[in-house]
Amino acid sequence: MASHLEPDSLPSPGEDGLAHSAALVARIEREIEAAGGWLPFSRYMELALYTPGLGYYSGGSVRFGRRPEDGSDFVTAPELTPLFARTVARPVADALTSSGTREVFEFGAGTGKLAAGLLETLDRWSVPVDRYTIVDLSGALREQQRQTIADRVPHLVDRVRWIDVLPEQFEGVAIGNEVLDAMPVRLHVRSENGWLERGVVAKSRGGEAIEVGSGATSAFAWDDRSTAHDDALLTLLDAIDADEGFVTESHEAARAFTRTLVEKLTRGVILLIDYGFPEREYYHPQRAEGTLMCHYRHRAHGDPFLYPGLQDITAHVDFTGIAQTGIDAGADLLGYMTQGRFLLNSGLADTLSDIDPRDTIAFLPAANAVQKLVSEAEMGELFKVVAFGKGVDPDAITAFVSGDRSHTL
């Protein structure tokens, strides 16, 4: 996690963006002061991403796209190609049929392209979907999702609803693509005398601001303190053969989200797609700087204090912890595998073959996108898929019949 970037290494967000970020900085500084001068990083990350009206995901700053010229910060699989949604529709159809349910829930629906693609494909296959429920906190994204769905499948838009929180109980198929990685994480650093928690202090309480690029200055700094670690977390951290200065994350928020989903699900399937590793790889001694990463205008860097509210902050997922949480909450683990294998098992190659290779204008971009989705050097190996079920046949989702890696968790 770099503390600063080279000057001018990132583009400036402009006056309006800087003003937006400054308002969020002031809000975070007030909370730090109210907390006695120090916040755990998990709370800083929560404020930077989700402060109403100002956070990256709740203030209208998030941008999905394919290149920095369109003002976007990163691209997700549904934005990369419509073939992703058409392919994921197969395991979703399997899950709906096996569970006998007729509703799909999507978390963090981005621009709505996954929703539109799933609705379109399931309708073409005559798979009954009475309702498609999107859980998203961003008002700006909700409008974009509504427009995307209305443009793609106008005859199905009336089946879509938006909610802020899940009901106490639900049944159906829940899907989250790149949701877990954006949930706040705690940071832990190995000191000479044991584990400390890495937190955030405001520089306005002393010290010089540090230039972080494009003339911007950081209002915050790291501060490591001794805080409470529960026994399970200490057992996990103490098992790492870590040298002094080793930094890693713990995923309390992602595990709580998974637990809540499983406990509320009465019948159906949960599909979670994200980048990450099983525990033995996640906490490997060589991963000494952790996995915290920021995205701004399609450039990845390690400074979460740069332009708060205008950049994404993420961490890779500990899939062992997620899988164990789901099982402990009462679900069956239906499968865990790489995204590449999952998509190929779900018929991605057949979906690509529907495009005439002689139509190079259509075929070449689609083939390039497929390569990015499944290649071990791209998204195919780093991204994983984990599935939980209740009241369904464990073998119902054909995507998990071969290539399952649950034994590695």
Q: What is the CATH number of the domain that holds 117?
A: 3.40.50.12710
Residues 282-287: contacts with CB under 8 Å, at least 24 apart: 282/248, 282/316, 282/318, 282/319, 282/320, 283/236, 283/237, 283/239, 283/240, 283/248, 283/318, 285/240, 285/241, 285/242, 285/243, 285/246, 287/248
Q: What is the pLDDT of residue 43?
A: 98
Q: What is the pLDDT of residue 214?
A: 40
User: Would the CA dihedral through 303, 164, 176, 170 be positive or negative?
Assistant: positive
Confidence check: pLDDT of 283 > 70: yes
40 found inside a domain:
no
Number of domains in the chain: 1
Q: What is the pLDDT of residue 272?
A: 98
Amino acid of residue 136:
D
358 found inside a domain:
yes
Task: Select the more confidently predicted residue: 164 or 389.
Answer: 389
Q: What is the mean pLDDT of the chain?
A: 90
Q: In this structure, what DSSP letter does residue 146 have?
A: H
Q: What is the pLDDT of residue 2?
A: 38
Band (216; pLDDT cuts 50, 70, 90): very low
Q: Which residue has the tokens 């990369």?
A: 80
Q: In this structure, what DSSP letter does residue 44 have?
A: H
For 349, the enclosing helix (H) or strand (E) is: helix 348-353
366 found inside a domain:
yes
Band (60; pLDDT cuts 50, 70, 90): low
Q: What percent of the chain has pLDDT over 70?
A: 90
332 found inside a domain:
yes
* pTM for this prediction: 0.91
Q: What is the pLDDT of residue 261?
A: 98
Rounded CA separation 41/32 (Å): 11
Confidence check: pLDDT of 148 > 60: yes
User: Mean of the pLDDT values across residues 356-369?
Assistant: 93
Q: Say which residues have a Cβ less than 8 Å from residue 207's Cβ, sequence separation at least 6.
A: 221
219 found inside a domain:
no
CA nearest neighbour of 399 among 351, 353, 347 = 347
Helix ranges, 70-182 (H): 77-80, 82-99, 113-124, 139-152
Residue 362 token pair:
């259509």
Confidence check: pLDDT of 27 > 70: yes
User: Mean of the pLDDT values across residues 394-398?
Assistant: 89
Residue 406 CA to its chain's centroid (Å): 21
User: Mean of the pLDDT values across residues 248-269?
Assistant: 98
Rounded CA separation 117/119 (Å): 6
19 found inside a domain:
no
The predicted-structure confidence for 109-138, as pLDDT tens digits, reads as follows: 989 999 999 999 999 999 999 999 999 876
Q: What is the 3 state secondary structure string of 245-273?
A: CCEEEECHHHHHHHHHHHHHEEEEEEEEE
Q: Which residue has the tokens 């639900």?
A: 170
Domain containing residue 356: 77-181+255-278+317-400
322 found inside a domain:
yes
Q: Which residue has the tokens 């390569």?
A: 371
